[in-house]
């Protein structure tokens, strides 16, 4: 990989997307490269890196001739997506299946899950991550149905909105059972049976280390998952574990558990503390990019990417009257009024 001037991309008709990637040799030294991810070389799906722009820098996009997302190659891969009934998990499952993977999907909402399973011609495992027996069953049924697993992607989470001191014991218990304990139990059951060169990815949050009013309990659960991920790498150095941080995203169910009155009360605080991004990621678009990155890693079993970070290009929202933009391959467009799923 090599560095280049981001202005060269514009001359060549390519584009840049903000990302931070930690590259390591499995079991060896690591090198943190906080860079801007240059556009894929679509013919070979090759990722190169360039210097990261400063916050607030412009990110113009000049479409290249025939520019399109890479047709991510998952041919022959066996993929389990946990939390696949909607949002990023659903999109990753669809992308993997479209790239030739055999897919198993797990989630709590049976009707939505079975719809996704039908779309990917895959295996549905209705399950609740807060139930330890269900966690074991996810691993057992996915392994049996796929005949082995090459990639696991953990996307499931609950995200209540409430101040820390008003978070009740049942909410704390449900939050940590679903966001932390469940994914780790599923992973623990799977580890001895994962194929050589496999990869396990966990979707995290940009609020880790920078909590926002009302989402402190959620941030704490994601911080706990991040810390457990470090221990997984320490205890299982021959397995690869990738943390995927996704910024504010339109089209997910992140705010499904939000109390609207509480959200209205917290909005001025979010604006004052710069918690809302000017540019939202598009759920399907960023999921394709995540999928393509994970497919690249599967093709390179000697490389680990400990952290993949995807944020919308641009600054922050400073006024309640300011409508966010949605960043896509075509550039940026205004979000429709009431667009849901903004992830913090």
* Residue numbers annotated as active site: 218
| 327-334 own/partner pairs: CB under 8 Å, 24+ apart | 327/279, 327/280, 327/281, 327/282, 327/285, 328/282, 328/285, 329/15, 329/61, 329/67, 329/68, 329/69, 329/285, 330/61, 330/63, 331/61, 332/279
Nearest to 306 by CA among 17, 19, 21, 48: 21
Distance (Å, whole) CA 93 – CA 102:
10
Residue 285 makes CB contacts below 8 A (sequence gap 6+) with 69, 327, 328, 329
Cross-strand pairs, 20: 34
Helix (H) or strand (E) holding 105: strand 102-107
């Amino acid at each position: 990989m090599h560095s280049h001037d981001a202005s060269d991309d514009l001359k060549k008709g390519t584009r840049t997307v903000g990302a931070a990637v930690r590259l390591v040799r499995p079991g060896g030294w690591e090198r943190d490269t906080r860079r801007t991810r240059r556009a894929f070389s679509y013919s070979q799906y090759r990722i190169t890196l360039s210097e990261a722009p400063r916050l607030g820098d412009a990110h113009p996009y000049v479409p290249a001739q025939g520019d399109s997302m890479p047709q991510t190659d998952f041919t022959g891969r066996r993929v389990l997506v946990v939390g696949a009934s909607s949002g990023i998990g659903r999109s990753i499952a669809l992308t993997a299946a479209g790239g030739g993977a055999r897919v198993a999907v797990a989630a709590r909402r049976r009707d939505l899950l079975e719809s996704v399973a039908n779309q990917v011609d895959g295996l549905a495992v209705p399950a609740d991550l807060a139930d330890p027996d269900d966690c074991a069953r996810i691993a057992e049924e996915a392994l049996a149905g796929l005949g082995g697993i090459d990639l696991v992607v953990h996307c499931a989470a609950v995200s209540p909105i409430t101040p820390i001191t008003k978070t009740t014991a049942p909410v704390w218990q449900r939050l940590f059972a679903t966001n932390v304990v469940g994914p780790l139990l599923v992973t623990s059951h799977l580890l001895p049976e994962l194929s050589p060169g496999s990869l396990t990815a966990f979707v995290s949050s940009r609020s880790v280390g920078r909590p926002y009013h009302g989402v402190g309990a959620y941030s704490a659960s994601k911080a706990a998952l991040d810390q457990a991920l470090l221990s997984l790498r320490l205890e299982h150095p021959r397995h690869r574990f990738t943390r995927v941080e996704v910024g504010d995203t339109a089209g997910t169910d992140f705010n499904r558990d939000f109390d609207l009155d509480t959200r209205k009360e917290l909005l001025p605080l979010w604006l004052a503390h710069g918690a809302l991004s000017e540019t939202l990621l598009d759920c399907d678009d960023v999921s394709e990019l995540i999928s393509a990155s994970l497919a690249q890693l599967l093709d390179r079993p000697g490389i680990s990417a400990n952290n993949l970070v995807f944020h919308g290009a641009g600054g922050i929202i400073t006024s309640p009257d300011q409508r966010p933009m949605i960043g896509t391959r075509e550039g940026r467009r205004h979000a429709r009024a009431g667009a849901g799923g903004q992830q913090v």
